[in-house]
Structure 1
Amino acid sequence: MKISHRIAASRPLATTAMHGRVEAFRNEGMGIIDFSIAISHFSPPSPVLDAVTRAVQDERTMPYTGVAGALDVRRSLCAKLGRENGIPAEANEIIVTNGAKQALYEALYAMTDPGDTVLIFRPHWPAYVTTCQLLGLRPLLVDLPANITPETLAACPRADLVIINNPHNPTGKVFDRDELGHLADWVEAIGAQVIVDESYEHLSFGPVHTSFASQCDWRAIGVVTLFSASQSYAMMGWRLGFALAPPEIASAMQTLQGPITAATSHLAQVATVAAFDCGVQQHMIDEYRDRRDQVLHHVRELPWMRMHCPDSGPYLWGDVRALTHDTEAFAEALLAEEGVAIMPGDALGMPGFIRIGYICDDVYTLMEGVRRLVAFGDRIAADLAADPVADR
């Protein structure tokens, strides 16, 4: 039996692999608290449920649509981009996809050739690097600076393509207009194309999110912007996303999507329009902020972990280098000893850090998981104090 070299040399995506392990443990009756991924405890907005219900009731046959999505769907998404993002767009510049991951894969496939370089700021969403590796691209990892300036960008290696994640997973950074302007000037100067992941555009706790494409000539540069309904509308399993791209790139992405999945399902397209018409779900943001603050209050005095307050997103990013740089081993031991799953920073390009998804389950479960994490870290800290040369 033959397995291709390209897939045999690849590893499963770290986030989905850990979540799969948690599901397997739960199926065996183990009470795992899962912080490894962000799955909202909220239900999708009622307009989405209503729209899908009407579509099921009113249409006996769900039609195939064009690969990029039905024309009325794409026009509605263009209206959203103009209304919320300040980006004038045409329907032929939109492609509706099965979540942001499909849009990312198609954009990278359409915009690069094997051996091309892709600059990625770390810590990073694991799918960026994994997808690059699947396509034979060369990721160039650069530490995300606290502020993007001409000087920090001048120190970065030149690349054929740059991936920007705004708001950023996992740090929660929201890029301001000046930073986006510096990025636009830099990519234009080095001749790089850009993929901008704006999946968390509606999850800001204060700073205003600005779309990169609204600050530059995105068609001339070659900018593809990715959007997802998963986190902003508590629709993780619905797999709803879309991309905005210059017409030539959008057409190339359709060429790839056609033989893979063709169009997304008709019901998914109905749900996509309804979701992106809902705007910011303020009740979700308010509760997420409260949860964030509760966790930060509980861990702020820990001598072995530093956790900054994120400006956006469903994750907390903790520095545990005072305990260990091997956070893969840390995560495995935490899962085995305390039944708590986290995402090790190794998977996001930063050993010595951990990512915690804090929007799942109820608040009691959240804080019980945090209590177990703290107890686990305290035990390691005590062991290190007793034996400073111990290798953890």
Structure 2
Amino acid sequence: MAAPDTNQTKTRVSARIAGISESATLAVDAKAKALKAAGRPVIGFGAGEPDFPTPQPIVDAAIAACSDPKNHRYSPAAGLPELREAIAAKTLRDSAHQVQPDQVLVTNGGKQAVYQAFQTLLDPGDEVLLPAPYWTTYPEAIALPGGVPVVVTADESTGYRVSVEQLEAARTSRTKVLLFNSPSNPTGAVYPPEQVEAIGRWAVEHGIWVITDEIYEHLVYGEARNVSMPAVVPELADTCVVLNGVAKTYAMTGWRVGWMIGPTDVVKAATNLQSHLSSNVTNVAQRAALEAVSGSLEAVREMRDAFDRRRRTIVDLLSDIPGVSCPEPEGAFYAYPSVKGLLGKEIRGVRPQTSVELAELVLEQAEVAVVPGEAFGTPGYFRMSYALGDEDLETGVRRMGELLREAK
């Protein structure tokens, strides 16, 4: 009798990879673009992407780099030495956090920095405190190396900011890392300096690593002030990894240049991983990033002024819709309104019970694309990026409001 073919019982895709969910934000953006291509006037609030062009001096630096043969070859996996040095200088300039170039690893966008930070720090079973609402990529990046996300939820009553008391209540003997993101995606929350310091000191006291994502560092508004945790808690520096990149600050989402900053042993280990994973980031993009981090912040200020104007507009428009509650975001370029007051109500013959169902109704009936809160760990909300033109923003929210006012 022939032995059974064990290959027939094996799965085609590994359980580890099969368990990864598609990025909800990119999925919504793709659906909106597909509907627009089919001729429908869809307005998309899904993607976290500035609608401005990359500043011309950065583009010019890339054009020049294309013609330089030294950029046609492999370069160090950790990044061009001059870019690592410039990132260290920029970090001191912008964050008052002093680091050395060998503490910097240049990555293929901020997502790779997130992925490699967790791959480098976590062993199976290690717990990561994950404040929610959270960016959709965080739990996936935590789970891949066998980490366990421990969600700590905040809502609009605290400005979507978790407290030290909440973190302490969630801490166990297996807690290794706290993921910290301020200014926040998806809520736009900015932690005040005193709260950043309190959380940092709590992490030091309990020997907990902090991975702090500072990709929106320059996009803060009003009286809000952004600070870097290792700058206000220097004793945290040896157990802290800072993630950042050029995507949001310089309107360079498609250039794919990010970085992680941390203790030299952690950065060296992550560099070893990257050397096998992807080698160096494309040299042309690195040259563009060098110009970005070394140059003026004037273009950034102009973008921030536009985002600030749109921030106030979207909050005013959303707050006028019955059943919608929208705290004013202090940073990034997202509003995170609660739509709990609309769930279960009849709208054009449908009674959506979840924010997923409500978002689907808004897309079909109002031709407006939003990302439901389920993608960020908090059902009952929408994430709406205001990084789109003023006219589209007003038209989209008004169109959505006309639909939602029919709720009964």
Could you tell me the TM-score, scaled by structure 2's length?
0.88
Maintained 8 Å contact 1:73/1:273: yes
Cα distance in 1 between the residues matched to 2:236 and 2:313: 43
Unaligned runs of 5+ in 1: 383-392
Q: How far apart in 2 are the matches of 1:13 and 1:88?
A: 34
Structure 2 residue 189 is matched with structure 1 residue 173: yes
Task: Pick which of 146-155 and 363-372 moved more.
Answer: 146-155
Q: Distance in 2 between matches of 1:135 and 1:357?
A: 30
1:367 Cα deviation from its structure 2 partner: 1.2
1:119-268 superposed matches below 5 A: 119-144=129-154, 145-146=158-159, 149-158=163-172, 159-206=175-222, 207-217=224-234, 221-268=238-285
Distance (Å, rounded) in 1 between the aligned partners of 2:202 and 2:322:
39
**Root mean square deviation of aligned Cα:** 1.8
Which of 9, 13, 17 is the equivalent residue of 2:23?
Answer: 13
* Residue 294 (structure 1) aligned with residue 313 (structure 2): yes
1:1-392 matches, cutoff 5 A: 2-59=12-69, 61-144=71-154, 145-146=158-159, 149-158=163-172, 159-206=175-222, 207-217=224-234, 221-277=238-294, 278-279=296-297, 281-324=300-343, 326-360=354-388, 362-379=389-406, 381-382=407-408
Change (3 A) 1:368 1:21: same
Residue 220 of structure 1 deviates from its aligned partner by 5.4
* Distance change >3 Å, CA 346–CA 337, structure 1 → 2: same
Distance 1:359 1:95, change over 3 A: same
Q: Contact conserved, 1:224 with 1:245, CA < 8 A, in 2?
A: yes
Deviations, residues 257-312 of structure 1 (Å, cap 9, x unaligned): 11111110101111111112233611111111111212222232322101111111
**2:26, 2:46 within 8 Å by CA — same for their partners in 1?**
no
CA distance 1:66–1:38, change in 2 (3 Å): same
3-state SS of paired residue (1:232): coil
Paired letter, 1:190: H
Which residue does 2:6 correspond to in 1?
none
Cα drift, residue 151 of structure 1: 3.5
1:77: Cα distance to partner? 0.9
> Which residue of 1 is the match for residue 5 of structure 2?
none
Given the superposition, is the C-alpha separation of residues 202 and 97 from structure 1 closer, same or farther in structure 2, using an over 3 Å criterion?
Answer: same
1:200-239 C-alpha deviation (Å, 9 max, x unpaired): 0011113221111212236654111011211111111111
Cα drift, residue 250 of structure 1: 0.3
Q: How many residues align?
A: 380
Q: Distance in 2 between matches of 1:140 and 1:318?
A: 24
Displacement of 1:26: 3.0
Please tell me whether the aligned partners of residues 192 and 221 of structure 1 are also in contact (alpha carbons under 8 angstroms).
no
Could you list the runs of 4 or more consecutive aligned residues of structure 1 that deviate by over 6 angstroms after TM superposition?
Answer: none
Contact preservation (8 Å) 1:118, 1:140 = yes
Please, which runs of 5 or more residues in structure 2 have no aligned partner? 1-10, 344-352
Q: For the residues of structure 1 that align with 2:362 and 2:140, how far apart are their CA atoms?
A: 25
**Matched residues in 2 for 1:87 and 1:293: separation?**
31
Please say if residues 22 and 34 of structure 1, whose CA atoms lie closer than 8 Å, have aligned partners that are also in contact. Answer: yes
Contact 1:218 1:246 in 2 (8 A): no
Return the letter of the residue paired with 1:188: V
Corresponding residue SS for 1:297: helix
Verify the 8 A CA contact 2:204 2:235 in the aligned structure 1: no
